[in-house]
Every structure is written in structure tokens, then in C-alpha cells.
Structure 1
Amino acid sequence: MRLLILGGTEFVGRAVTEAALAQGWQVTVFHRGRHEAPPGAAVLQGDRTAPEGLAALRTGEWDAVVDTWSWAPSAVRDSARLLAGRAGRYVYVSSASVYTHPKAAGLGEEAPLVEGASDAGDVPYAEAKRGGELAAEESFGADGAVFGRAGLIIGPYENVGRLPWWLSRIARGGPVLAPGPHGLPLQYIDPRDLAAWILHAVEAGLSGPYNLISRSGHATMGELLEACVKVTGSAAELRWTDPEKILAAGVEPWTELPVWVPPGSEYHDTLHRTGVEKAYAAGLRCRPVAETVADTWEWLRSIGGKAPQRPDRPLVRLSPEKEAEVLATS
């Protein structure tokens, strides 16, 4: 397979590049040159937001394109138009954010969608991802475009800071504010499992939207944090705390306590109770949480313990001072 990856040097894009290379595919990475591409990939450079920024893509043919773009849909539109007729399939890594909020628990790809436009410029994240889907479909058609609607992604190469924050916090030891309940079901996907499914979709000739995330309860909050304690070898003490006490203390779910949202809230249903059976029927497989946590810790240590941070995403963390205040009253 000849694969073109628009991006391909960070997080999900890097996972796709490495997976394709491991399968012996011919991989071309098109990127801005800010990060090194994985060894073995051919490299084309350009800035999609600049005039003539796609010049390097004016020639060449590929069996499929994988696009991880998260900003102005017009950039997806321009890329898809340029590559139509020279690539067999366009896989756009989208997001579960394209569904209107709040989303009822259990709904799959039939859930209502936000508005989007393929020619839009800078718009909010949800509208940008929906616009990107529409842009891919306009040039490649309903049979040639694949929308991988990823949910929460945690694992090696993470540049958003969720699992790296938990690992770093627990590695420091001491009492750790552990948001309950212990058995709270989670949904997430390891970037390598996302990458494996994308390659499968290319080989199988799939098209249309798929919710790419584990089944709800694939892991629990307790299993996730206990795996962090185990792999770090820390003497951290997980202090399980009721959601009501955490919220009353003014702690923000998801941002100050990454991954966690309180049970029973519309946010938990939206983020951790999504229907995924279509994707599982189409080959999605998700590895155990212990493997994701262990490999992320190994990667984090290999880069000196400080995870990269996307500049367009806010920092996710709970300050030590605020954590101590909550622990003192729980």
C-alpha cells in the first residue's frame, strides 16, 4: 500500500505512520518540518495554511490519504480537491465532538450532528471537525471517504497531557486525590489501536463514519489509576473521594482531573457512554488499559519525563495546593 499522511509526526499521526511502516507500506509524510518523521517514511514539506503551501503534493499517487487536521475545514477542502483522482481513499481523523451536545447515552453514528461547512475558516473545534468531514466527502464521495470519529485518546506520544499528567502526579507519591467512584466506567482509545483500525479500513475499503473508542467500561477509573501506581512503582496513596465533595470544592472535571467526569452527568454520558458496535463489527480492537499505561510510562521516561504539549490545547492539571485543600476536607 502507498499511504500519504498529512501530519504523521505527532500523536495519532505518528502512530499511523509507524503502524504502516511496520506493515511494509510505502509511507509518505507531508508536514511542516517542526518534528522529525519516523525513520523509513518519505518526507514532503509544506504548510497547508500558507499560499502555495500544498505545492509538494501536486504530483504523486497513493492508495489512501490519512488526514489528522483539526483546524480550518478549508485546509481539508484544499487538500482533498488537490488529491482527488490521485488517491483511492481519504481517511479523515475526526472526533466524537461532531455530535450535538449533550448526546444521549448509547447512541452511535446516528446521533445528531453539529453544523459544519467545508469552506469554513477558523471555527470552534466541533464545527471544524464536521467541516473537515464534509470537505473530504465532497472530493472523494460517500464511498471514498472515511470518518474516524475518535473519542478520548490516551497513550504513547500524547501531546494533550491527560495520561502523562496522571502518571507524573502518581510518580511523585504521597496522597493522591482519586476521583470516584472506583468503578466509574471509561471509554478511550490507544492511538496505536486507532492507527491499526485506520489501516484496516484502507485495506477493507471501508467508508463513512465510525465511532473509534473502546466500549464503555473497557476500563474503570480505578483500573486506570491503579495501573499508574503499579507501573511507576510509586508509594502513592490513592484517596478515593466522592464526586460531590470534589465538585463542591470547585475542582473542574476533565480539565483539572483529566479523563474524569462525574457519573450521572450529561458529560459522562457524552464522553464515556458512546455506541461503538459499528466500529467493533468493522474490526476495532482495544488493548488492555495496563498495556496502554505501561507503554506510556516507558515512552514518558524515554523523553525525560516531560510530555510534549500542543499549543492549541489548554494545560490539564490540578495544582498541588488545590489538591491538598480537597484532601484535607475529605
Structure 2
Amino acid sequence: MTKNNRISRRKFLSQGLQAGITLPVLGYALSSCEAEDRPAAQENTVKKLNILILGGTSFLGPHQIAYALARGHSITTFTRGKTEPNIHKDLFQQVTSLVGDRETDLTALETGSWDAVIDNSGHRTAWAIKSAELLKDRSELYLFTSSTGVYYPYLTKDADEDSEVLLVEPDGITDEDEKLEYWYGVMKATSENAVRAAYGDSRSIIVRPTYMIGPADKSNRFIHWPIRLSRGGEVMVPGKPDDPVQYADVRDVAEFMIRLIEEKKAGTYNA
């Protein structure tokens, strides 16, 4: 695993990358889920990039697209053409859309070149292998959207980018939910390795977000709590009162990823 400087998304986004800063618990309580509450991207003099996003129409992707377009970049998406964005819809008129299937049809990706690839839809290790091998000679950087799930079963709350990740699912797991957690973590970890194998450490960016919340989140896993607490009365919650809880604002994560690409900061980053 690549050793990285620890950085704060917020400090990175406001001042650029700073060495030796520990990544804190980020993500803030949302006072509103309106996209208009977000400050516009500031004027910048960075090189305008041609970025390919695998996925891009669900949750994280539209925020990446909004920020990238605001900074002058060009965006191409590769999707199945089935999921309609429910935020920043008007911006997709400025996006080049390629249609295919990561399992069965990568024809649309056989031509073209890009400065960077963002892989948001890597839900099978085989998909990461195929796309990375297909695009490695026609793109400079490959950013894989991984997950802190690579650290499952979370034996410590202090896991950093150099912590051990699970590459093989353990035997003897019978609980279906636990089996799914192990499968997901292993799938993301082995996909990371597939990207590094194709692009090398110097051209690979691995971002491991925790639970993301924010505009267009369909899970309601965060919104449930402020709504419920606002009603008052006794509230049943999981865990202990002093258990640490971490969320990340999806807009922070999206901006962080685009800035990593702009500054060519290869490496592995918890987010």
C-alpha cells in the first residue's frame, strides 16, 4: 500500500495539499440538503482536464460533475443509461454520455483518451481489472472510489491508510449480513490492487470514503436522525453513547477527488 501524507479534505480544498496533517473526522451536520447552499467553485488557473467517469449519475457522480464543470473541466460518463440523476440535472447537457455495460459491453470505451478516469461504479473486481487494463494506455490517472469497508471488521477506530486490509473472505461466516460486509470489503481491496497493477503506484489514486451523506442521498441513513430527534421524546439508537460516529459530506468527497486529480496526487486516501 502506498504510504501517504495525512491530509484534511477541508484544508486541501481551501489551501491545497499540505504535508503531515492528520485526517480528522470530517463531514458536517447538514443544515439543509439544498445544492444551492454550496459555495460555487472558485476561479482557478489549473489546467483544464478531460475526465472520464465510470458511473456518474447516482449520488457521488453528479457532485463530481458539478464541481469539475465549474472549474472548467470536460466530462464524459460511461453508464448503462438507466439511472437518471436527481440533482444537477441541467448540467448533464454539458456532459458527453457513453452507454454500455461493465459486465458485458465496454465497446464505447475502446476509443478515446482522457487525462483521468474516475471509477465510481466498481462493484466487481473483474470490472476494475477490465477497465483499468483497457484504459491504462489512454489515460494518465485512474481514481478508484473504494471504501473504508476494506478495514472490516473494524477492529480499531484508528485505521489509517497503512492499516491492514482484508484480501480474502474468511471461512465459517454464516450470518448473511456479515458475509456481505466481508465480500464488499474484499471486493474493494482487490479492486484497488487491480488498479495499481495496471497503472502503477505513480498513476493510481485510491479514495476510501466512509458513509457519505448530503444532497441526493437516497438511503436516508443520516436524515432519519435529525428528523426523529426533532420530534422529541425517548429515542432508541444503536451502540453506546460514547461510540464515535463519522460521516462525510458527499460534496466534500467529490471536490477532494477532483482536486487530487488536478494536482496529480497519486496515493491512497481515507475520506
Give the TM-score normalised by structure 1: 0.57
Point out the structure with max Rg over C-alpha. Answer: 1
Unaligned runs of 5+ in 1: 213-330
CA pair 116-207 structure 1, distance change in 2 beyond 3 A: farther
Shift of 1:70: 4.3
Whether the 8 Å contact between 2:52 and 2:114 is mirrored in structure 1 is yes
Separation of aligned partners in 2, 1:19 and 1:210: 20
- d(CA) in 2 for partners of 1:132 and 1:166? 33
Aligned-pair identity (%):
33
State the 1:159 CA deviation: 2.7
Return the match for 1:10 from 54, 58, 82: 58
- Structure-2 residue corresponding to 1:21: 69
SS, match of residue 134 in structure 2: helix
Aligned to 2:155: 103
Instruction: With the length of structure 2 as denominator, give the TM-score of the two structures.
Output: 0.69
> How much has 1:128 moved relative to structure 2?
1.0
Q: 2 CA distance for matches of 1:196 and 1:167?
A: 25
Deviation at 1:178, TM superposition (A): 6.0
CA distance in structure 2 between the partners assigned to 1:82 and 1:27 by the alignment: 19
The corresponding residue for 1:83 is: 135
Question: Do the aligned partners of 1:29 and 1:43 also contact (CA within 8 Å) in 2?
Answer: yes
What pairs with 1:224-303 in structure 2 (closer than 5 Å)?
A: none
Distance in 1 between residues matched to 2:244 and 2:152, nearest whole Å = 22
| Structure 2 residue ranges without an equivalent (≥5) | 1-48, 86-91, 170-179
Higher helix share: 1
Check if 1:188 corresponds to 2:242: no
The letter for the 1-side match of 2:213 is I
> How far apart are residue 102 of structure 1 and its match?
3.1
RMSD: 2.4
Alignment-derived partner of residue 205 in structure 2:
146
Q: What are the Cα deviations for residues 279-328 of structure 1, in whole angstroms up to 9, with x where unaligned?
A: xxxxxxxxxxxxxxxxxxxxxxxxxxxxxxxxxxxxxxxxxxxxxxxxxx
Give how far 1:107 is off.
3.1
Contact persistence 2:77–2:96 (CA under 8 A): yes
Pair 1:113-2:165 in alignment: yes
Structure 2: distance between partners of 1:130 and 1:68? 14
Letter in 2 for 1:177: V
Q: Secondary structure at the match of 2:139?
A: coil
Q: Secondary structure at the match of 2:129?
A: helix
CA pair 99-181 structure 1, distance change in 2 beyond 3 A: closer
Q: What is the CA-CA distance between 1:2 and the residue it aligns to?
A: 0.4
CA distance in 1, matches of 2:99, 2:111: 13
Q: Are 1:93 and 2:145 counterparts?
A: yes
Q: Which residue of 2 aligns with 1:175?
A: 233
- State the aligned residue count: 205
Aligned partner of 2:31 in structure 1 is none
TM-superposed CA distance for 1:96, in Å, is 0.7
- Asked which structure has the greater RCO (Cα within 8 Å, sep 6+), the reply is 2
